[in-house]
């Protein structure tokens, strides 16, 4: 375990980090994908990880272009498909993919046992989006504090403060943060 940690630190010191590797892989993949005749996922995608997403993306594009009307789970606007959350909320839902756009499967009202957690998560997402739009770090903190997995306002604030201190030079766009 210690040897792995030391190896990890050595890689960081030498700027041999996964992010740089992924950037190089992405550049090569983007070149390949820029060719509209590409109909299969390039073999290099396995180096990128997440190649299942690439397979799905190609299937969705194929369904859109060829109006196959296949079903895929996608992110789209709610527009009443799930009752009890705002219509303009982004949802991840099974949809039939057509050449005219996705047709989400209407869910209606969620079962009681999951309705609250979905509404709670959507409240967090809405607060976070508002915080970004309003450039308001205090609202961002509140969003993280009300996240369903946050168990303590105090612990979340300490973590947020530590991250702020470490990255405040990158957060000037967001204006003042009142600790």
The CA distance from 102 to 61, in Å, is 11
148 phi, psi to nearest 5 deg = -55, -25
Q: How far is CA 55 from the centre of its chain?
A: 18
DSSP, residue by residue, 165-177: HHHGGG-GGG---
State the Cα–Cα distance between residues 105 and 92, nearest whole angstrom: 11
pLDDT at 4: 66
* Other Cβ atoms within 10 Å of 104 Cβ, number: 19
With a cut of 50, list the residues of the chain below it in pLDDT. none
pLDDT digits (tens, 9 = 90+) for 13-40: 777 777 788 888 888 888 887 887 877 7
Identify each DSSP E strand in the chain by its residue range.
Answer: 71-77, 82-83, 90-98, 101-104, 108-109
In the chain, what is the greatest distance between 2 CA atoms, to the nearest angstrom? 55
pLDDT score recorded for residue 91 = 95
pLDDT at 37: 81
Q: What is the pLDDT of residue 40?
A: 76
Q: What is residue 88's predicted lDDT score, i.e. its pLDDT?
A: 94
In this prediction, residue 49 carries a pLDDT of 73
CA angle 46, 49, 55 (to 5 degrees): 70
- C-alpha–C-alpha distance, residues 176 and 112, integer Å: 40
């Amino acid at each position: 375990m210690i040897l792995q940690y030391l190896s990890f630190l050595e890689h960081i010191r030498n700027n041999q980090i996964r992010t740089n590797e992924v950037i190089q892989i992405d550049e090569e993949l983007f070149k390949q994908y820029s060719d509209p005749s590409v109909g299969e996922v390039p073999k290099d995608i396995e180096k990128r990880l997440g190649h299942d997403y690439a397979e799905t993306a190609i299937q969705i594009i194929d369904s859109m272009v060829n109006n196959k009307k296949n079903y895929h789970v996608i992110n789209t606007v709610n527009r009443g498909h799930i009752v009890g959350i705002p219509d303009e909320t982004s949802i991840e839902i099974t949809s039939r993919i057509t050449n005219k756009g996705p047709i989400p499967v209407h869910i209606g009202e969620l079962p009681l046992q999951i309705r609250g957690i979905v509404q709670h998560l959507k409240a967090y997402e809405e607060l976070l989006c508002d915080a970004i739009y309003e450039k308001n770090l205090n609202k961002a903190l509140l969003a993280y504090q009300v996240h369903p997995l946050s168990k303590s306002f105090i612990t979340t604030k300490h973590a947020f403060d530590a991250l702020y201190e470490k990255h405040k030079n990158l957060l000037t766009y967001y204006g003042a943060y009142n600790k």
